[in-house]
Amino acid sequence: MNKVTVLGSLNVDTILQIPRLPQPGETLAMTDQRSAGGGKGANQAISAARSGAATSFIGKIGDDENGRMMLSFLKDAGINTEQVTVSSKGTGQAFIMLQESGENSIIIYGGANQEIKDADIENAREMIQSSDFIVTQFETPFDQATHAFKIAKEAGVVTVLNPAPAHKNVDPELLQNVDLITPNETEAEILTEIKVVDQITAHEAATRLQELGAKNVIITLGGKGAYFKTATEEKLVKAFKVHAIDTTAAGDTFLGALVSRLNKDFSNLEESIIYASKASSIAVQKVGAIPSIPTEAQVKAALEAEK
């Protein structure tokens, strides 16, 4: 069983279902509205936990009902929440415009997520050092991600960076402490200025990310699959074809499932990507982030059905 620590965001999602994105100045009626737990950190942690990883979380919530709800979601998934603390700012929120096509556009209020300090990372030092993997994203502060990854690397913990939402100028010190970076094609383009449209351009972007310091790369390509590149191997792993209803948390589900399976030496990377891709394909067939994330039993059953 992998021990996974997630340093990340906790958001309550408000999902606004619309036929399409409105034009500037246009008023458009929603077809439905609902709330659900989310945040990239929470999604990734719950995905890892539901796939059998012993999962811990470092993050912040507000002293409000949304914060208590997010804490209960983590605890219900069996996640260690000792390092989830309360901030004076409100719990993070995300407003998701979900189109009939299944595509989404997301607006985020960081709130308590942006209040993570170096002291919080130091308080979690033992948790980090005892992990097999630590995962973080860009919905919490960069400096604290760098601090956490330094602690992890000193202890031989594998560091995994999901660079989302993507930023052009990422601290080189952070990238040099990354064992695995997992952008989607849009994020890879922002990071490298290489437009990723196929396996050739994915190779170029992955090579650039390795030049910037990341040791291993997975670029998720939506319906085309996931391209990976290590020091010795590269390949495009095809996606499972499904009808997507809501792509929210597809990438987060993929990453959490991946680190639940991955060996620390990456010796089973392709096999882990296949498992993660199946988990993601299940998640996109339901509305919402946390509610859509499958369990290990569901993923294994779906993989068995493919044989």
On whether 52 is known to bind a ligand per the annotation, the reply is no
Mean pLDDT of successive 10-residue segments in the chain (307 residues)? 97 92 93 89 97 98 96 97 96 91 87 97 98 97 97 98 91 95 96 94 97 97 93 93 82 97 97 97 86 94 87
- pLDDT of 241 reads 87
- pLDDT of 248 reads 75
On whether 221 is known to bind a ligand per the annotation, the reply is yes
- pLDDT of 249 reads 84
Q: Cis peptide before 165, with omega less than 30 degrees from 0?
A: yes
On whether 292 is known to bind a ligand per the annotation, the reply is yes
- pLDDT of 116 reads 98
158-161 and 133-136 beta bridge pairing: parallel
From the candidate CATH numbers 3.40.50.1980, 3.40.50.300, 3.10.560.10, 3.40.1190.20, the one assigned to the domain spanning 3-9+39-91+115-306? 3.40.1190.20
On whether 246 is known to bind a ligand per the annotation, the reply is yes
- pLDDT of 277 reads 96
**Which residues lie closer than 8 Å to 224 by C-beta, 6 or more apart?**
198, 236, 238, 239
Distance CA 197, CA 76 (A): 39
- pLDDT of 55 reads 98
Q: Are 148 and 125 in contact (CB under 8 A)?
A: no
On whether 220 is known to bind a ligand per the annotation, the reply is yes
**Which residues lie closer than 8 Å to 259 by C-beta, 6 or more apart?**
2, 4, 48, 53, 133, 135, 160
> What would the two tokens of residue 223 be?
């319906």
On whether 11 is known to bind a ligand per the annotation, the reply is yes
Catalytic residues: 252
CA 41 distance to own-chain centroid: 6
Domain map (residue ranges) of the chain: 3-9+39-91+115-306
Q: Are 133 and 5 in contact (CB under 8 A)?
A: yes
On whether 283 is known to bind a ligand per the annotation, the reply is yes
